[in-house]
Each structure stands twice: as C-alpha cells, then as structure tokens.
Amino acid sequence: MDAEIITVQGLTKVYRVPERESGLRALVRPAYTAVPAATDLTFAIRAGEMVGLIGQNGAGKTTTLKMLSGLLYPTSGEARVAGFTPWERKDEFLSRISMVLGNKSQMIWDIPPLDTLKVLAEIYRVPADEFRRRLDELSELLEMGDLLTRPVRNLSLGERMKCELAAGLLHRPEVLFLDEPTLGLDVSIQARVRRYVADYTRRYGATVILTSHYMADVLALCPRVILIHGGRILYDGELNGLARRLAPYKLLKVTLGAAPDGLPALPPGAEAIGQDDQTLTLRVGRNDAPRITAALLNTLPVADLVVEDPPLEAVIDKIYQEGAL
C-alpha cells in the first residue's frame, strides 16, 4: 500500500475576532473573542487517494485546506504534506502542490490568462515545449477556445474557473487541494473536469483533497470522505459506509405488475413514503428488509423490486440537523 503523503495531528485554528464596543476603553484595551474554525483535526491520507472534505458552509473545510497548503498558520497541532511542514512554504513544497479556490483568482484582472500561465510556467520551470503540450491538453479538455487571449475582466465566472484549473494543473502537482473546482461551470464541463481529475490521479499518482457543494463531484471522485461539522471531524471513512452507519433504514422501490387500487396492504414494519402509478417507495428498518422483501414477493404481483440505501444528500442533511453521529 502507498505511503502516507499527508499526516495531520491535532490541527487547530482559532481566530481572534475583535468585539465591537463603543467608547475610549475599546480603543485603549480592545476585547477579542476566540472563534474556533478547526479543532483537533487528526487524519492521514495515502499517496494516490482521492478524499472528499464535506460539510456545511463555515464547517472549517476551506480553513483546513489553507493550513495544509501553507496559506494559514495553525494555532496548534502538526501537519506534514509531501514530507514538508506546509506553513514553512519552502519552494520545493510549493512546486509539489497546487490549490484551486473556486472563489479566489490567481489570474491578473487586466491581462489575458495566457500571460499569467506563461509566468507560472517560468516560476515552475516548465520547459517551453512541455508548456505548449500541457496547455493544448488543458485547453481542449476545458473547451477554453479564445478564453486564453481575452482579458480576465471580460470572462464569466465559469470561464475564469476554467483558467484557474488550467493554472493549478500546469506544473503537474502531486498533491491537489481543490476547493469548489466546478464552481460556475455548466453540467457538461463539470463532468469533463471530474473525468480529467480522475484520469490525472490515475496517470500521475496524484493525491486529491476535494471540497464541493456539488455532491456529484464527491460521488464521482472520492471513495473516502471526511465529514467536518463545527470545525470537528464527525466521520472519516468510506463514502458508501456513511449511509450504512447513519441511516437505520433502507428504501424499497417496488414496481407492481398493474397499478393498484389505492395503497395495498403492507407487511408490518413497512412505511409507504411515495407512490407513482405502479411503483411504491417504502422505508423499512435495515434488519427488517429481508423479511419485508420476502413478504412483498409472496403477497403482491411484484414485477421489479430494488433495495437501496437512502440518498447520501439526505443522510448528510440529517447529520447537519443533529450535529453529531
């Protein structure tokens, strides 16, 4: 198994936020409130893993990525990324990572993206012929067309995001921190970006930590997720295991041979939560699913029956509402 490329132990970030008070005393002796953004985070990620960092707005996801990329100093704790302490910001470390922030731009506002990319190629010492080859590949993938030669100020959010992705991948980093990488992109380009990131990881053995409000990004790319709520880790494990652990029920989608006249009699423990013509959607306890499935097959004219976990979005929403596992 690949070695650990990211290790985090007790990582904590607390912001000192000034309290807004009136009067002379506030000027002479200002008061501050401690606001924790990340608390005692501990995890490890192996080289080549793709991990989704999920949580509500303000949960601490972006703060965590900024500490791991060296943009923020932690209040306490330790981290190692690709053998380096991130906040020391050594040149070799910076050449081996990349961070793409969906709501921030490294493009220069008044010049075309191509000029910024040329500067980045010089900074990362990308040979000229290799720069052209990589740029052609990224331009085709992201359907950039003439975007590279238009001033950044004239580009839409989605067009700027394409350029940010190109800039982030230009130097072939081995660790990718992607914060909302498909922000502002249309559905077809989102899908192409996911495929490219997955292919990039397979081809170059890169490690990816991804945050996204689009669950489709996480579902398509990340077998493992770390769920953060209130700055703390609530879950770290397989994406598929999240629903199994947190949802004590399964969904049965039962298609009948003919449309029923009203709701048919159901076995004890089966709750009807939806009916569409010939299809019933039932909620049943996990342990009761085999018994209820057998009873349905014996008592109803079943044409098809599917047993599945509840949607991941519903499971995560439940966590947000309850605030704990």
**pLDDT tens-place string over residues 190-222:** 888 888 889 889 989 999 999 987 888 888 899
70 and 153 assigned to the same domain: yes
Residue 287: phi and psi, rounded to 5, are -75, -20
Using one digit for the tens of pLDDT, what is the confidence trace for 154-177? 998 888 888 998 999 999 999 999
Question: What are the φ/ψ torsions at residue 50 (nearest 5 degrees)?
Answer: -120, 115
Does one domain contain both 27 and 121?
yes
Same domain, 161 and 197: yes
Question: Could you say which of 243, 268, 284 is where a domain stops?
Answer: 243
Looking at the structure of the chain, the number of domains it has is: 2
Segments forming the whole domain that contains residue 170: 4-243
Asked whether 324 and 289 are in contact (CB, 8 A), the reply is: no
Same domain, 278 and 231: no
Together in a domain, 67 and 81: yes
Domain-located, residue 218:
yes
Contact 87, 75 (CB under 8 A): no
State the pLDDT at residue 143: 84
Residues 150 and 235 in one domain: yes
> Does residue 67 sit within a domain?
yes
Which of residues 243, 277, 296 is at a domain's end? 243
Q: What is the pTM of this model?
A: 0.79
Whether residue 230 sits in one domain with residue 189: yes
89 within domain boundaries? yes
- Is 267 contained in some domain? yes
Asked if residue 321 is part of any domain, the answer here is no
User: 77 near 9, Cβ under 8 Å?
Assistant: yes
Q: How confident is the model at residue 23 (pLDDT cuts 50, 70, 90)?
A: low
